Amino acid sequence: MEFILRDPIEGNFQFPVNPEEVQIKRDRQFETVTILSLGEIDLFQGERIKEITFSSFFPKYHDTYCNCSQDTGGHPDPQVAMNRLTSLLTKKRPVRLSITGTIINALVYVTSHNSTFKGGEPGDIYFDITFRTWKGFKVGTLGAKASTRPDTKPVPKVYTVISGDTLTAIAKRELGNSSKWRDIYNGNKKVIGRDPDLIKPGQKLVMP
Task: Say yes or no: 193 and 90 in one domain.
Answer: no
H helical segments located in the chain: 78-89, 142-148, 167-170, 181-187, 189-192
Tell me, what CATH number does 185's domain have?
3.10.350.10
Task: Give the pTM.
Answer: 0.53
Type of residue numbered 112: S
Task: Say yes or no: 89 and 179 in one domain.
Answer: no
Does the pLDDT of residue 205 top 60, yes or no? yes
Task: Say yes or no: 52 and 92 in one domain.
Answer: yes
Task: Say yes or no: 184 and 123 in one domain.
Answer: no
Task: Say yes or no: 111 and 176 in one domain.
Answer: no
Which of these, 11, 24, 13, lies nearest to 104 by C-alpha position? 24
Distances (CA, A) of 164 to 112, 174, 177, 197: 85, 15, 18, 11
Residue 150 covered by a domain: no
Residue 125 covered by a domain: yes
- pLDDT tens profile 135-178: 765 555 555 555 566 665 667 788 888 888 899 998 888 888 88
Write out the residue range of the structural domain in which residue 197 sits.
Answer: 158-206
- pLDDT tens profile 81-119: 999 999 988 888 889 999 888 888 888 999 998 999 988
Percent of the chain with pLDDT over 90: 17
Residue 170 covered by a domain: yes
pLDDT of residue 59: 92
Percent of the chain with pLDDT over 70: 77
